[in-house]
Amino acid sequence: MARLEQLSQQVLAVMTEIGQDYSKYQQDRGLFCRSGCGECCQHPGIEATVLEMLPLAFRLIAEQRADQVLSDLAERDDARCYFYQSHSEDRKQGQCSVYQQRPGICRFFGAAGTTGKAGEYQLSTCRNIKTDHPTAYADTLIALESDPPPLIRHGQEQIRQLDPELASNPMPLNQALATALEKALFEQYYQSAE
């Protein structure tokens, strides 16, 4: 197995574990996303690293969709996620079509932790969760020190440790995917030529 393909499996394992940690915290605290909500997926400023996109790149190669997706991305001028499937006219309802291979940043959405300047825990939460679950949100804020949320930077660091170079340059989601696809296809090409 080639280096990047093996690395992609390690990344997916770490991201799956991270996703489970965040999901458990959100369930334990009663901070759930709306069913079918895709508002966060609509934000054009979402960034990921090439490393985070490797599992998806290798899935697309295995499904023989890599060249088509790469071509689509080259022609696309929309910065929103290529894999978000909208189910409503306002695009706020929908789903991720590559949920299992979604990057780390997508696993942190909903309710996650950050730290303030003085090192205190802070809660990063979508406004819909605050609106839909005001009591759970208030209780979570009160319990931040005794029941801290998983920190976004810790999740990012777990991923970064696998390959600091490929994790060093966050870029727009679709650009990170295109770069990951190019690297994975390049490796596959040279592996098949040997």
pLDDT of 194: 65
Least confident of 27-36, 133-142, 167-176: 27-36
Q: Residues near 52 by Cβ (< 8 Å), separated by ≥ 6?
A: 11, 15, 103, 104, 105, 159, 167, 176
- Whether residue 134 contacts residue 127, with contact meaning beta carbons closer than 8 Å, is answered with no
Q: Residues near 174 by Cβ (< 8 Å), separated by ≥ 6?
A: 73, 76, 79, 81, 82
Mean pLDDT, rounded, for 99-103: 91
Exposed/middle/buried for residue 186 (C-beta within 10 Å: 0-12, 13-18, 19+):
exposed
Mean pLDDT, rounded, for 133-144: 96
pLDDT of 86: 86
User: In this model, does residue 108 exceed pLDDT 90?
Assistant: no
Q: Rounded distance, CA 72 to CA 4, Å? A: 23
What does DSSP assign to residue 80?
Answer: S
User: In this model, does residue 127 exceed pLDDT 80?
Assistant: yes
pLDDT of 35: 87
- Whether residue 49 contacts residue 167, with contact meaning beta carbons closer than 8 Å, is answered with yes
- Percent of the chain at pLDDT exceeding 90: 73
Helices 50-62 & 66-75 angle (0-180, nearest 10): 130
- 174 pLDDT band, cuts 50/70/90, is very high
pLDDT tens by residue, 20-62: 999 999 999 999 888 888 888 888 889 999 999 999 999 999 9
- Name, of 29-43, 76-90, 176-190, the range with top average pLDDT: 176-190
Q: Which residue has the higher pLDDT, 133 or 80?
A: 133
CA gyration radius for the chain?
Answer: 18
User: In this model, does residue 125 exceed pLDDT 80?
Assistant: yes
Helices 152-160 & 3-29 angle (0-180, nearest 10): 160
- 109 pLDDT band, cuts 50/70/90, is confident
User: In this model, does residue 1 exceed pLDDT 70?
Assistant: no
- State the alpha helices, DSSP H only, in the chain: 3-29, 50-62, 66-75, 104-108, 127-132, 134-142, 152-160, 173-193
User: In this model, does residue 192 exceed pLDDT 80?
Assistant: no
- Main-chain phi, psi angles of 109, to 5 degrees: -65, 160
